Amino acid sequence: MLFCLASFSVSLAISQTTPSWFTAKEVGPKIWQISDHGSDNIYLVEGKKSAMLVDNGLGTADLASFVKTLTSKPLIVVITHGHPDHAGSDYQFEKVYIHQADAEAAKAFNRPDSRAASAKTMQAGNAPAEGELYKGKIFETELIPVSEGKIFNLGGRKIQVIETPGHTPGGICLLDIKNKILFTGDNNNTLVWLFLGNCKPLHEYLVTLEKQLAGISEFTTLMPGHGVPMPSDFINDQIACVKGILDSTLERKEYKSFAGNSMVCAFGRASVAFNPDNL
Ligand SMILES: [Zn+2]
């Protein structure tokens, strides 16, 4: 399936008037992966009636205008979780859907001072050029709660919310039912962070992964918030990794990042950075 999807991969010609901060490529049928200048992946999924933006990046550049170069359909913005590299552009949109448990975090990261701080630590490369900065209205964004089973009908294309607590308490994945594609935020990256202060204990994250495995017939491809698309069986490696941490059969190494130090284990294609005091 991954090879099928690759055939849709088309680099878009960027005109001189289009901001260069973002780049987009079509990674599936009417699915664009938008690179937030290399920091994170944002996805745009278009149906016959409307389009969905899955996550909105760091918020340092004018995403709202860039999205208009890709679709003219009315936009539904949904956030997989409340971290600043996924929910940082909420302020550019009037309404954003998010799980209730991550709403406060998303709000906190949409203040100018928070945005500046996350740009400093998480942004890849230099700051956006003056012409790429957001110049539109700063919205008092309405955060609309979503929960398990909610279905967005984009017109000939339905997207279903699946709750996946772990990396954050209110993390969700979004399933493109017809095309069997799962947008996974930070839940199924090749390296998943489970050591942050508000992460769920590792054994609860294992429950989330086993829930995904139980529904694996519903999707063939994972579209992560960082990195490249992965086949769905990647989840088996993640489960083996978490089990190997919990039963202490995997070698633990130190892991350092701007967000703090922790331990990390690897199994197959998967790595999980975790807090030994929050298993
Ligand atoms: Zn995250």
Calculate how far, in angstroms, residue 111's C-alpha sits from the geometric centre of ligand 1.
18
Write down all domains in the chain, each with its CATH number in brackets. 2-274 (3.60.15.10)
Facing residues of 44 across strands? 32, 53
156 CA distance to ligand 1 middle (Å): 30
Distance from the alpha carbon of residue 158 to the mean position of ligand 1, in angstroms:
25
How many angstroms is it from 15 CA to the middle of ligand 1? 32
Size of the chain in residues: 279
Report the pLDDT value the prediction gives residue 239, as an integer from 0 to 100: 98
Distance of CA 167 from the midpoint of ligand 1 (Å): 7
CA of 145 to the centre of ligand 1 (A): 18
Ligand 1 geometric centre to CA of 212 (Å): 18
Tokens at residue 20, please?
């260069």
Centre of ligand 1 to C-alpha 86, Å, is 7
Burial class (CB in 10 A: 0-12, 13-18, 19+), 77: buried
What is the pLDDT at residue 14?
42
CB neighbours of residue 191 within 10 Å: 15
User: Could you say which DSSP state residue 215 is in?
Assistant: T
Give the number of other CB atoms < 10 A from CB of residue 210: 13
CA dist., res. 249 & res. 178, Å (int): 39
Would the pTM count as exceeding 0.75?
A: yes
- Ligand 1 mean position to 81 CA, how many Å? 7
The CA 82 to ligand 1 mean position distance, Å, reads 7
Q: What pLDDT, on a 0 to 100 scale, did the predictor assign at position 74?
A: 98
How many whole angstroms from 93 Cα to the centroid of ligand 1? 20
For CA atoms 158, 54, 231, 28, the dihedral sign is positive
Q: What is the pLDDT along the chain (279 residues), one digit of tens a residue?
A: 444 444 444 444 444 445 589 999 999 999 999 999 999 999 999 999 999 999 999 999 999 999 999 999 999 999 999 999 999 999 999 999 999 999 999 999 999 999 989 888 888 888 899 999 999 999 999 999 999 999 999 999 999 999 999 999 999 999 999 999 999 999 999 999 999 999 999 999 999 999 999 999 999 999 999 999 999 999 999 999 999 999 999 999 999 999 999 999 999 999 999 999 999
At 20, which helix (H) or strand (E)? none
pLDDT of 125 reads: 80
Ligand 1 centroid – CA 226 distance (Å): 9
- Please compute Rg for the chain using Cα positions: 18
